[in-house]
Amino acid sequence: MNKRKTIKYIATFFLILFAISPILFLLIYPKYNDILITIKNFDPYRISQEKSISLLTAIAPPRDRYAELVLGATS
């Protein structure tokens, strides 16, 4: 009896997979090139650089708040 249930579960799984796979194929195929371009353009180094620079510029004080100091003497 247990073997029969297992066979039913496996058959049901493959029938559902058989029905869903063409739907997924038809949904993904028209966007396949866009998906590949997005994956190939994914550059973690560039993204981390942009995020760190934007963070540092956001927390840095504006330039007009700095006082200009002359540390050397002129002759």
Each residue of 6-42: pLDDT tens digit? 999 999 999 999 999 999 899 888 888 998 888 888 8
Burial of 44-59, coded b for 16+ CB within 10 Å and e otherwise, reads: eeeeeeeeeeeeeeee
Q: How far is residue 75's CA from residue 67's CA, in Å, rounded to a whole number? A: 23
Residue 53 lies in a domain: yes
Q: Is residue 73 part of a domain?
A: no
**8 A C-beta contact, residue 49 and residue 55:** no
| Residue 30 within any structural domain of the chain | yes
Runs of H (alpha helix) within the chain: 2-28, 32-40, 44-59
pLDDT tens digit sequence for 48-60: 999 999 999 888 8
* Structural domain containing residue 11: 2-60
Asked if pLDDT for residue 73 goes beyond 70, the answer is no
Which tokens is 69 given?
A: 């100091």
In this structure, is residue 67 part of a structural domain?
no
